[in-house]
């Protein structure tokens, strides 16, 4: 029976480990005995988390990288599992790094729009392509892909973000079916709004809401789902209900409703 005990002593690479859900996933994996490779751009944040985890006896490495840079995934691979690197067998890949950008598409900074595609999609595919073949060879591995409840319908004023998350979810589901027979498990994690820095980064503070689930609680659900090989996890009832309901509504109707509800105040 698969359990989180399988993570004990294995290397886990967590992207976006400097904040929010990524930091919580790193802590939760460490709690189950995994060794951690933390990556993001903010080295000070990674060092603080590494010090905290090391104090509890976890082996930790840090690789700073900007996933806007198309060469970053290869650099991360080379520094860890690659032949010239540290020779670490990464059995757990957590594709968590991501960002959104709220606002009218036509006036949104183009770099912010493209960064969502690069970080949320391109870098995620690139890292997965680098690390999963070795997992397949070893007949063992776990991959978590951060999708979102935003992956279930178009979201005007977060158009690029929702589209990247639909990509992430479908990619995870397709890959899960491909690699299951080699003992590799892939989970698409689809949280709704969760406490983190996401809304500040996305300039969407007005939509954050109150009493959100914590990243720590989400991470507990996510790591358990990953261990049991659950292909999709929508962690809370509200998100599950929404994803279920949306199946029976015309997509045009939902999109028009979201456009009115989310339209920026002029
Ligand atoms: N919070 C929510 O409500 C929510 C809901 C559904 C899905 N999600 C997804 O959950 C994931 C984590 O988001 P979060 O909520 O934890 O947001 P967050 O607190 O803003 O954390 C985002 C993480 O991604 C990293 N990141 C962003 N751009 C990067 C880049 N160019 N290169 C490398 N790392 C980068 C950040 O690190 P640096 O800035 O240090 O590089 C940070 O560690 C994202 O994929 C997001 O789409 C979040």
pLDDT tens sequence across 156-192: 999 999 999 999 999 999 999 999 999 999 999 999 9
Give pLDDT, residue 59.
98
Give pLDDT, residue 207.
84
Best residue among 164, 168, 196 to mutate for probing ligand 1's pocket (most ligand atoms within 8 Å of CB) is: 196
Distance 110 CA to ligand 1 centre (A): 19
Within 6 A (CB) of ligand 1 lie 16, 18-22, 40-42, 45, 66-68, 96-99, 119, 146, 148, 191, 193-194, 196-198, 201
Lowest mean pLDDT among 33-47, 77-91, 158-172: 77-91
pLDDT digit string (tens) for 126-154? 999 999 999 999 999 999 999 999 999 99
Q: How confident is residue 253, by pLDDT bands cut at 50, 70 and 90? A: very high
CA distances from 203 to 58, 118, 158, 231 (A): 35, 19, 11, 31
pLDDT reading at 85 higher than 70: yes
83 or 89: which carries more pLDDT confidence?
A: 89
Q: Could you write out the DSSP letters of every residue in the chain?
A: ---GGGGTT-EEEEETTTSHHHHHHHHHHHHTT-EEEEEES-HHHHHHHHHHHHHTT--EEEEE--TTSTTHHHHHHHHHTSTTTT---EEEEEE-------S-GGGS-HHHHHHHIIIIIIHHHHHHHHHHHHHHHHT-EEEEEE--GGGGS--TTSHHHHHHHHHHHHHHHHHHHHHGGGTEEEEEE---S-SSSHHHHTT-GGG--SSPPPHHHHHHHHHHHHHHT-SEE--SHHHHHHHHHHTTS-HHHHHHHHHHHHPPP-
Q: How confident is residue 1, by pLDDT bands cut at 50, 70 and 90? A: low
pLDDT > 70: what percent of the chain?
Answer: 100
57 or 208: which carries more pLDDT confidence?
A: 57
Q: How confident is residue 209, by pLDDT bands cut at 50, 70 and 90? A: confident
Lowest mean pLDDT among 12-26, 30-44, 74-88, 134-148: 74-88
Q: How confident is residue 83, by pLDDT bands cut at 50, 70 and 90? A: confident
CA-nearest residue, atom 36 of ligand 1? 16
Give pLDDT, residue 206.
84
Best residue among 38, 198, 208, 222 to mutate for probing ligand 1's pocket (most ligand atoms within 8 Å of CB) is: 198
Q: How confident is residue 2, by pLDDT bands cut at 50, 70 and 90? A: confident
pLDDT reading at 90 higher than 80: yes
């Amino acid at each position: 029976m698969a359990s989180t005990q399988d993570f004990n002593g294995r290397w886990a690479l967590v992207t976006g480990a400097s904040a929010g859900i990524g930091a919580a996933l790193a802590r939760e994996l460490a709690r189950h005995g995994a060794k951690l490779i933390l990556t993001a751009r903010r080295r000070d944040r990674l060092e603080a988390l590494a010090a905290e985890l090391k104090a509890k006896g976890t082996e930790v490495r840090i690789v700073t990288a900007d996933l806007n840079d198309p060469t970053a995934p290869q650099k991360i691979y080379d520094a860890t599992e690659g032949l010239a690197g540290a020779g670490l067998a990464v059995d757990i890949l957590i594709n968590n790094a991501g960002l959104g950008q709220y606002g009218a598409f036509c006036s949104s900074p183009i770099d912010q729009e493209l960064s969502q595609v690069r970080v949320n999609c391109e870098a995620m595919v690139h890292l997965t392509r680098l690390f999963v073949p070795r997992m397949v060879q070893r007949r063992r591995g776990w991959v978590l892909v951060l999708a979102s409840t935003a992956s279930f319908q178009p979201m005007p004023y977060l158009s690029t973000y929702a589209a990247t998350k639909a990509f992430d979810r479908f990619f995870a589901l397709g890959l899960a079916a491909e690699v299951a027979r080699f003992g590799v498990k892939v989970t698409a994690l689809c949280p709704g709004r969760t406490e983190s820095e996401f809304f500040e980064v996305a300039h969407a503070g007005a939509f954050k809401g109150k009493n959100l689930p914590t990243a720590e609680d989400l991470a507990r659900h996510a790591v358990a789902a990953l261990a049991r090989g659950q292909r999709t996890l929508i962690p809370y009832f509200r998100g599950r209900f929404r994803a279920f309901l949306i199946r029976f509504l015309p997509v045009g109707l939902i999109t028009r409703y979201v456009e009115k509800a989310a339209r920026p105040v002029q």
